[in-house]
Amino acid sequence: MNQTMTRTRWECTLHEPSVLLGIAHNGRVEIKFGDRFYLASGIVCAACPRCGAQHILDMTIERHEVSA
């Protein structure tokens, strides 16, 4: 049972270069906040640290779609 673990960057694309909000993999998203790391699943909401835009990542759907 060798499964390929796909990691997807969750980004705020309102900037150049884009701002990393978290890394999505295996139905969870890993978020770094300060000196700590958090793992979340389900529907995750994050604010861009640069512009404050709200981003929602829905990990409950099959395709991991990101909406701004």
Per residue in 2-57, pLDDT (tens digit) is: 455 688 999 999 989 999 999 998 889 999 888 999 999 999 999 999 999 999 99
Q: Looking at the domain assignment, is residue 1 inside a domain?
A: no
**The pLDDT of residue 52:** 93
Assigned token pair, 17: 């270069």
Reported as a pLDDT band with limits 50, 70 and 90, residue 62 is low
**The pLDDT of residue 64:** 47
27-50 core/surface letters (b: 16 or more CB in 10 A; e: else): ebbebeeeeeeeebeeebebebee
Q: Which domain holds residue 14?
A: 8-67
User: What total of structural domains would you count in the chain?
Assistant: 1
Assigned token pair, 18: 């884009």
Residue 2 one-letter amino acid: N
Q: Looking at the domain assignment, is residue 32 inside a domain?
A: yes
Main-chain phi, psi angles of 55, to 5 degrees: -125, 140
**The pLDDT of residue 6:** 84
